[in-house]
Structure 1
Amino acid sequence: MIDHVYISVTDIKRSLAFYAEALKPLGWSLFGNYSAASGPEGVPDLYGLGDDMYGKGTGVGSSIWLRQRTPGETGLYLGIVCDTNEQVDAAYAAAIKAGGIDEGKPADRTYFAPGYYAANVADFDGNRLEFVHKAWNPKRHA
């Protein structure tokens, strides 16, 4: 399951309005922003939209985070749901073994939220994957 996607846009305000209206019939809504000032260097300001399950703890939801595009930026950023920290570790190890580029070893990312554990890798074309376990999400598999 996809947890989240970052979409790089040229106009945050216009894009937020577009995505909010386009996804409203599907139960998605604006839910808040993330300030880069509260995280490590390289994490941008983010502007969030989520489905009707996202962040409620009653099921595993999905989100889209808009970020300001930088000159020459390309590629996709995709967050993949993991049910445990061990799955994050295993996916990260497999991606590195397959030739992926380390962009953040498995670790707690409490600057996003308590219980947020993730690892980041890039492929050969600069597309990025984040393997993420959110402690508040119910497990999807028994």
Structure 2
Amino acid sequence: MLDHVFVSVSDLDRSIEFYERALAPLGIRHAVDYDGANGPEGHPDLKGFGRDGRVFFWLRHGSADARAVHVGFVAKSEAEVDAFYAAAISAGATDNGKPGARLYYDPRYYAANVLDPDSYSIEVVYKSWQHPQP
């Protein structure tokens, strides 16, 4: 399990707006801004996103390399995957795999894939076997 990830983006304001809209269906919000001057020398300013009291996805201004990042977010249901995809496309994402089963992984692997404004690969996935069944 990951605690956090930093993603360098070319236009911080554009990326904040994109992720605020695209991640809202997952309950992930822009939660905190960190001033790099408060950290060790050279620490970047960060824009943090999270949910349930945890901040785990951070944006920082810098050079973007679309080949360098693939981030997969957990969804609680297939409906959340669908809602993320719709919100991301509405926020300006490029389709990189419409919502549906990814049979090449597992028939219960349901995901949607988009490219963010810097062409980073973003996936939202629901793996039914990883969630408690009622």
TM-score, scaled to structure 2: 0.48
**Greater per-residue helix proportion:** 2
